[in-house]
Amino acid sequence: MASSAERLFYVLLDGIQEGSLIVRDPDGRERTVGAAETTPHVRVSIHHRDLYGRLLRDSGLGLGESYVDGWWDMESGRIVDLLALVHRNDITSRVRGDLRLKGRVLARHGRTLPTRARSRRNAQFHYDLGNEFFRLFLDESMTYSCAYQRQPDDTLHQMQMQKYDLICRKLDLQPDERLIDLGCGWGAMLVYAAKNYGIQGLGVTLSTQQQAWARRWIAEEGLSRRLEVRLLDYRQITGTYDKLVSIGMFEHVGKRYFPAFMAKAHELLKPGGIGLLHTMGTAGSRHPGAWLSTHIFPGTCLPRLEDLAQQMRRADLVVGHIENWKLHYAETARHWHDNFHANRKRILALGGRYDERFLRAWTYYLQLLEAGFRHDVLQLYQVLFCQGYEWTLPLTFDFSAREAAGIG
């Protein structure tokens, strides 16, 4: 006999009008909901009969945690397809979770607010998982941010190099200009800009493993006189630079510290200097979701476009150009997941924390990321700006000149 939670679960699913879902319960019985003539088509196998109550109580957090616990699996389709069905039919608005859930999430968020001390812990929680691990699903440049796809058959590495070249041209980089990279990751932007545009640069990161990788790479490329990577919080940086870039770091700053970040950007840029901010954003809640902020990115806060414009205006940073790379990030996440899946055995062989639960967590995360950009409110903003009101921004970012030279 079905429990009350199971009955309520299927009442909620009966509202599906776009796509179809086949659910196989722990006893092997199947139930189909939705419209078979529409997409996506998804088949899910439930292994634990307490899943129904867990989803009703913990909503999206429960969906992710129960997958990691092995309570359900996809029989056909991808997790991305299941999440697309959830988003398109607005199921989450009808499953808000237990009243205590919001309190737990807010308490967790409060413990991870990105103060100077906590920012380092937050960064190391994710980015110090191990260079060998990240090497198994990123491209050879170790770039862990949204790439730029120009053709459907572009490789992930091509997409990342196209991203860096477009950023260099937006910044109008010139030989021997000084570039500051806030949140430089494993150093790919600095290396690309130094080799192709002749800049001098400083990168900062809070990850010891990223710093070690970047320093070794810079030395191997013979760029140690041009580039340096330091283990610093952005609030600790001093000096003046011609150009500034920040790629995939602002989402870790925290809403409370948006003004401090923009003020620091103004301080670091010389008058008329150009900056580019590349950040995940949202068209909905600034909170990225309970599962993501609990298990993957503690302390994360996603800016809205109006947040960026408002804070830049207050810091006398003049916005010159904005792009949204939303679907580029969906494709980037798809590539990451494909690489991750292809290297499952090699990741398991790393031992230690890299067990089956870890694999399930990252399988869910990478597909959650793709689904958020492909079907939900996640955005990827690139905002080009200059310090002060002297207009120094380039007039065009056309690819043709560099394509003719075989670059990018």
Note whether 248 and 144 are within 8 A (CB).
yes
- 383, with CB counted inside 10 A (0-12, 13-18, 19+), is buried
Distance, CA of 379 to CA of 251 (rounded, Å): 11
Note whether 369 and 308 are within 8 A (CB).
no
Note whether 191 and 168 are within 8 A (CB).
no
pLDDT digits (tens, 9 = 90+) for 108-127: 555 556 666 666 677 777 88
Q: How much is the pLDDT for 225? A: 98
Average pLDDT, rounded, for the chain: 91
DSSP string computed for 264-307: HHHHHEEEEEEEEEEEEEESS-SS--HHHHHHT-TT--PPPHHH
Note whether 201 and 229 are within 8 A (CB).
no
325, pLDDT greater than 70: yes
Helix and strand counts by DSSP (H, E) for the chain? 16, 11
- Amino acid at the residue 373: F
Runs of H (alpha helix) within 303-390: 305-314, 326-342, 344-348, 356-375
Indicate the CATH number for domain 116-404.
3.40.50.150
Average the pLDDT over 65-92 and give the result. 95
DSSP string computed for 50-72: THHHHHHHHHHHHHHHHHHTTSE
pLDDT digits (tens, 9 = 90+) for 285-307: 887 788 998 899 887 899 999 99
The whole-model pTM stands at 0.92
Domain 4-97 has CATH 3.30.1050: yes
Q: Residue 279 contacts by C-beta under 8 Å, 6 or more apart in sequence? A: 246, 248, 249, 250, 251, 303, 308, 380, 381, 383
Give the domain ranges of the chain: 4-97, 116-404
Average the pLDDT over 321-328 and give the result. 97
pLDDT digits (tens, 9 = 90+) for 159-218: 999 999 999 999 999 999 999 999 999 999 999 999 999 999 999 999 999 999 999 999
Q: What percent of the chain has pLDDT over 90?
A: 75
Distance, CA of 253 to CA of 158 (rounded, Å): 29
